[in-house]
Every structure is written in structure tokens, then in C-alpha cells.
Structure 1
Amino acid sequence: MPGNTDLLTLQTPCLLLDEARLRANVARMKAHLDSLGVAFRPHLKTAKSLDVARIAMPSSAGPATISTLREAEYFAAGGVCDMIYAVGIAPAKLGRVSAIRASGADLAVILDSVEQADAVAAHAARSGDAIPALIEVDADGHRSGVAPTDTATLVAIGRRVVSGGAELRGVLLHAGDSYALNDPAAIAQAAEAERVAAVTAAEALRNAGLPCPVVSVGATPTARYARDLTGVTEVRAGVFMFGDLYQAGVSSVAMGDLVLSVLATVIGHQKAKGWIIADAGWMALSRDRSTAKQAVDQGYGVVCDLAGQPYPDLIVADANQEHGIIALRKGSTATLPDLPVGSRIRILTNHACATGAQYDRYHVLDGAGGISAIWPRINGW
């Protein structure tokens, strides 16, 4: 949708995307991973858009990481052939996985139990589809996965996968605890711990005579601050493309790197309370309040002018379903800006994934403050 649609005429709330920042973020990450000699498999769970994927992926065919089978179907239809479904596989989904693979996509699954391995092996034997599987390894106790030193379980899972004619493709890790860190040196240590866990698990499989061609790691903080990825074949990261206030709070991105913002309209005031009311509540911004646990609580979002410059200490302090309550941060000595009814503002939000999920399109900003395109995005599972 070419043209230069003025931000004053768009229906609000809507989701804005700064294309120049997106491209810069992707280029920075690719250069860093190139310097470490590893492949890049971008995670598209935040983007959910072919237009964004084509900027992020090494080629139009991939590789890519996805988090729902709806994403896998959508990206496969758009020509993405190489994907990892990076959520532990539910046996009832294997038929759908095979249908996507039958369309021409090389879609791999992940698992971390003998029960899942049995289901994959049985499905492969029954269907003739040698579904590739990676074993999820627990890098830091954050979520799912087999302990990297639990050789017996790793080998048992690997042998079950191949017993029915499925393919054991490797190991996959996610250093989720890195999201709780904010010191680059500590994040670099988490990246090294992730690497060591990955290599340890891979060696356990190979020493048992099992294949492990892929050693896949990935989280935005560790991807950015990793210093050595010896033994790793690929890195997955996704939210770095957009950034958000949470990621800025853990030093994974800078405030000037944030790509997404919600365009909103001022609809009222409660002057005695020092409130400005906007038409973007938690349905538009998401319920995510993750920065409340950080050194700087950003409320439901940081309020900016139309050029994307934050007003001093102005945040969405509270939110109802369709109302955003804008106020100065507690303790601030700043002056509440004069924003009459009808004024347009942009809001930077805590979690790009959660905010993006509220919308079916991106309004793409050009360099002159207008809209150069509309990029569709999808939701659902």
C-alpha cells in the first residue's frame, strides 16, 4: 500500500513499525553472528509476517524458527522451506506436522521425553514421514529440556526417535534465565553456559553413536553478548528485531533501537489527578507488566510524541480494556505535556510479542513520518 498516509488520519489504536530500525537491528545481529562463525535461524514468533521474515532470514526460503503450527503453515505457503517448530511436540499435532512437510517444507520438531520420542517414532513408522526431531536441552533450569549431563535420558530419547525411522537432527537450547540479567558481562557468562550445555549434550549423543548435526542455541540476550560459539552450528533469536522496554531494561537493546509503537489518540483528561486518557488500553498494549520487576517500572508503556521521542517521565501508568491512563512517573519533577483531546501519541510497550499479538498488520513508517506500506501479520495456533 504505497503512499504517505499521515499519522493524524489513521484509525487508532494501530501498530507502527520503523523499517529503518528493523533493518539496522537485523544487520547488527547478522554481523555479530558472522563474526562468531555460526549460522542464523531467526525466530519469527514475534514478527508473524512474511515481510519481516524476508528481511530477517538469510534467504527467502529460510532457515527460520517458529512457535506455532499456524506460523509454519503461513510461512510454508510463503515459500519458507526450512523451519524448526521450537515448542515441545504434542503427539496429536504430528499429523498436522506431516501435512506441512508434505507441502514441501522441511519442518522439524523438538522433544524432551521418551514418551514424545515414542510418539514421533510411531508416527514415522505408520506414516512413512521421517520427521526430523531435535532434543531440547535444559540450559539453565528455566523451562523445558533434558539436563545436558543426563546422558542416559538423552541417549534413550535419541534411540527411540530413530527406532521408528524418524530422524534425529540434533539438540536445541534456550537460555531463558538470561532475560533476568541486565549486566553484559553476566549475560556473556550465561551465553557461555548455554554453549557448554549444548556441546556437552551433543557430545553425549555422538559418543553413543547417534547423529547430532545441529547444535542450536538462542535467546536475544545471549545471542547479542556471546563471545565464543565453538561447537554451536546455529543461533536462534527473534525479539531483538523489534526490541521492547523489557529488552531495553536488560541491556539487550537500546531505547533508540525499538521498532514497534502503538499509535493512540488522547480522548480525555482527569486534571485533578494529573491524568491524560488515551484510546489504547491493555487490549492495545497487552497486559504485560514485566518491567515492574526491573529497576525502572515503565507501567504499560512509555509515551512519545509523533516523532517517537519520549516525553520526560510520561508513562501509561494504568490501563483498562480500552482506556490508557497516562501520568508522570511517581516522584517525577517533569511537567505534564499539553496534549488536548485529539492529540496523537506513540507508546513504546513492554513486550513486543504480546503487543504484536493484538494486531493483524503493521503500518510501516517511512523516513518522513508517514506510512510507506502495510505489512500483514497473522495470529493463532
Structure 2
Amino acid sequence: MAETSGEPLDTLQTPCLLLDEARLRANVARMRAHLTGLGVAFRPHLKTAKSLDVARLAMTAPEGPATVSTLREAEYFAAGGVRDMIYGVGIAPAKLPRVAAIRAGGADLAVILDSLEQAETVAGHARRGGDALPVLIEVDADGHRSGVAPHDRDTLVAIGRCLTAGGATLRGVLLHAGDSYALSDPDAHAAAAEAERVAAVTAADALRQAGLPCPVVSVGSTPTARFARDLTGITEVRAGVFMFGDLFQAGTGAVEVEDIALSVLATVIGHQRAKGWIVVDAGWMALSRDRGTARQAVDQGYGVVCDRAGRPYPDLLVTDANQEHGILALRPGSGAALPDLPVGAQVRILPNHACATGAQHDRYHVLDAAGRAAAVWPRINGW
């Protein structure tokens, strides 16, 4: 649970993870308002947050609903009172006993799958344990990753019939439009959201026409959730990284740099003036090795460097990272001046990928309106 601290930033041990609570709340409120206007329920994805304190701000009720990406998350959130969850990674047979234990503790944890082989395993588990395990069939929205093709009626129906005959519960279909991460134009994102919607409705209709239940039609990614214009036929939307924002999502246009709520506080520990370098104590162990922006129009190195108030320095990036050393330098070709940052000065670094950077830390130092670390919110890692 949260601990109060009220510390000025210069008393914190670096590197550490900062969370701007006002930005977090604003990002959540914006997404909720958008989805409410489209008439769908919101099931936040907690894979980025991994924190009960953040979850309680994001969810519409203390009991959920929520999405998780690991069974460690499911166990942690269930212990914190979250009751309605989807484990959003294709189920592996060896994980079914853990799923059963979480469900036995009172949580309604659903799983996803996309093959008849998995369905047969889940049906066998349901028969043996007498647990009508709820299942959503993963449908491929765009060829990005996993899922049954939305027009593959035979496979969808075979999976659905196998589940229901075996005593499991067919709860619906689930899609993730991962290819939206490669886009950067609002109209293109809106088109991806519409393609995701059509794929979801097509798959749901195939099940219903075969006499199978499909009460839940679940879609979601941060870009498609942000830019969807019509969600007719969809019952719920999942999204998660939007809460924090990151440079990759800013590169897609799904968030603004000013929306990014997460940063890493680091301290200057040296200089290589002949090379135009400032050295800080945050390397890839604090920032992660994620270089997702290298594939975008603007390469942000290992992160954008800001002052302690969170204002970016012109063209100052983490251009290289060793395990515990970060190299700050100006963007190649920049005409900006390197800021005068003496040893002991603190900077904040905006992450390329909030999920990956967050995973390097076990707590958030939560900033209040005055920029002080007003609380510590624990977060978990692992599978």
C-alpha cells in the first residue's frame, strides 16, 4: 500500500522512478470520457502499472474490471480485492492450476486462447476440476500477433463447441490491434480501430450464428482506443500504457509528450567535455534497453532529458546506455547548447517504453502539484 513521504527530489536516491499523479489522473479521465461517449465499458490493462494504487485510479470500481498480462499480476490484484480480470496472454497448460487457485480465492479470472488444442486442454481442466472456467477466443485483428482469423468460422465454432461441451464457459472474443503501433496519423488510427471493430463483430457473429454464446466483445490498444470513432457491437475496450504515456506512444500520436506521467530521476556523475557528454547514474538497468523510437520518424535515443520540473532540455537525449551509466548528449545535427549540469545536478528522463522502464523498478515516487515526492506506491514484477 501507499506510503507517504513528502520528500524533495534532491533527497531521493537515484536512479528512481517518478510518477506525476496529476498527469496520470488526467490521462485516465480523458480516456474514460472518450469511451463513455462511445457507449462502451472500460477494462484498463494493468500490465504497465503493476500497482494496486494505480489500478484503483484506473478501474471504474475497486473490484474491476481489469486486464492483466501475468499470473503474478492476477495473484497480486486478486489479493488486493480485484475480482473481475482477464489474463490477456494465450493460456499454457501448466498455468491452469495457478488460474484455478486464483479463481478458488474468489476472483473471476478469465483466460484467452486461439487454438483447438488449447480449448481441449481447458475443457479437460474444467471437467476434472468442476470449474466452468471462462474463456475468450483471441481473434487476429491485423496479422500482428496471435489469434484466429475473424473469417475462419469453422475454427471459431470448433473452439467454441469444444469449450462448452467440456464444461468451460465461452465468454466471448478478444482482439488487440497491435499494428496500430506502427501508425502516426489520427485518421490511420481511426481506420485501424474500425478494422479492429469489424473483425471483432465478424467473429462474434460467427459464434452467435452457430448458437454459441458471445456476451463479451473486447478490443483494445492505446492508439485505437484513443482514436476510435464508432464502437458499435463492442462491449468493452482495453488499454493500459496511455495512463503513463511514453515516447513511443508520443511518436504514434496517441499521447503528447506533455502527457507523459512517468520519468526516471538521475544524477549527473561526470562529464566528457571533449565529446559533448554528460554522464548520469541511470543506465539501461534503470531505463531498459528499449529503443522502439529508433523505428519512428524521430529517434529519441534511450530517452528525452528534462529538468527537475519535467521540462525537456532542447534536443538533449540519453544517446547511449551502459548498465549503470547513461550518456547524455545533443541530438545529432542539433544547434542547441549543451546545458550546464554540474556533478550532483538531477535530471528527469522520459522513457521510450513505460512498460519496460517500469519493470526495472519496485516502486513509484509519486509527485504532487509542488513537484515533491508525496507518496511511495509499490509495484510488482515477475510472472
The two structures have a TM-score, normalised by structure 2, of: 0.99
Aligned residue in 1 for 2:321:
319
**Residue 211 (structure 1) aligned to one of 210, 213, 229:** 213
The one-letter amino acid of 2:196's match is: E
The one-letter amino acid of 2:278's match is: I
User: What is the rounded CA distance, in whole Å, between the counterparts of 1:191 and 1:295 in structure 2?
Assistant: 22
**Residue 294 (structure 1) aligned to one of 284, 293, 296:** 296
Are 1:232 and 2:234 matched, yes or no? Answer: yes
Are 1:172 and 2:174 matched, yes or no? Answer: yes
User: What is the rounded CA distance, in whole Å, between the counterparts of 1:41 and 1:367 in structure 2?
Assistant: 28
Aligned residue in 1 for 2:277:
275
**1:228-281 superposed Cα distances (whole Å, 9 cap, x missing partner):** 000000000000000000000000000110000000000000000000000000
How do 1:116-135 residues align onto structure 2 when only pairs under 5 Å count?
116-135=118-137
Are 1:57 and 2:59 matched, yes or no? Answer: yes
Deviation of 1:163 after TM superposition, in Å, equals 1.3
Are 1:284 and 2:286 matched, yes or no? Answer: yes
How do 1:29-178 residues align onto structure 2 when only pairs under 5 Å count?
29-178=31-180
Deviation of 1:4 after TM superposition, in Å, equals 2.1
User: What is the rounded CA distance, in whole Å, between the counterparts of 1:135 and 1:84 in structure 2?
Assistant: 12
Aligned residue in 1 for 2:259:
257
Aligned residues: 381
User: What is the rounded CA distance, in whole Å, between the counterparts of 1:66 and 1:90 in structure 2?
Assistant: 15
**Residue 362 (structure 2) aligned to one of 349, 360, 363:** 360
User: What is the rounded CA distance, in whole Å, between the counterparts of 1:296 and 1:375 in structure 2?
Assistant: 32
The one-letter amino acid of 2:240's match is: G
RMSD: 0.5
The one-letter amino acid of 1:62's match is: G
**Residue 190 (structure 2) aligned to one of 188, 191, 205:** 188
Instruction: Give the match's secondary structure for 1:266.
Output: strand
Aligned residue in 1 for 2:246:
244
User: What is the rounded CA distance, in whole Å, between the counterparts of 1:269 and 1:325 in structure 2?
Assistant: 9
User: What is the rounded CA distance, in whole Å, between the counterparts of 2:128 and 2:95 in structure 1?
Assistant: 15
Gaps of 5+ in 1: none
Identity %: 80
User: What is the rounded CA distance, in whole Å, between the counterparts of 2:131 and 2:71 in structure 1?
Assistant: 17
The one-letter amino acid of 1:376's match is: P
User: What is the rounded CA distance, in whole Å, between the counterparts of 1:302 and 1:57 in structure 2?
Assistant: 30
Deviation of 1:371 after TM superposition, in Å, equals 1.0
User: What is the rounded CA distance, in whole Å, between the counterparts of 2:162 and 2:278 in structure 1?
Assistant: 60
User: What is the rounded CA distance, in whole Å, between the counterparts of 2:310 and 2:240 in structure 1?
Assistant: 22
User: What is the rounded CA distance, in whole Å, between the counterparts of 1:2 and 1:31 in structure 2?
Assistant: 30
The one-letter amino acid of 1:139's match is: A
User: What is the rounded CA distance, in whole Å, between the counterparts of 2:295 and 2:217 in structure 1?
Assistant: 32
Instruction: Give the match's secondary structure for 1:74.
Output: helix
User: What is the rounded CA distance, in whole Å, between the counterparts of 1:139 and 1:199 in structure 2?
Assistant: 11
Contact 2:15-2:286 at 8 Å conserved across structures: yes
The one-letter amino acid of 1:78's match is: G
User: What is the rounded CA distance, in whole Å, between the counterparts of 1:285 and 1:260 in structure 2?
Assistant: 11
Gaps of 5+ in 2: none
Instruction: Give the match's secondary structure for 2:11.
Output: coil
Deviation of 1:3 after TM superposition, in Å, equals 4.0
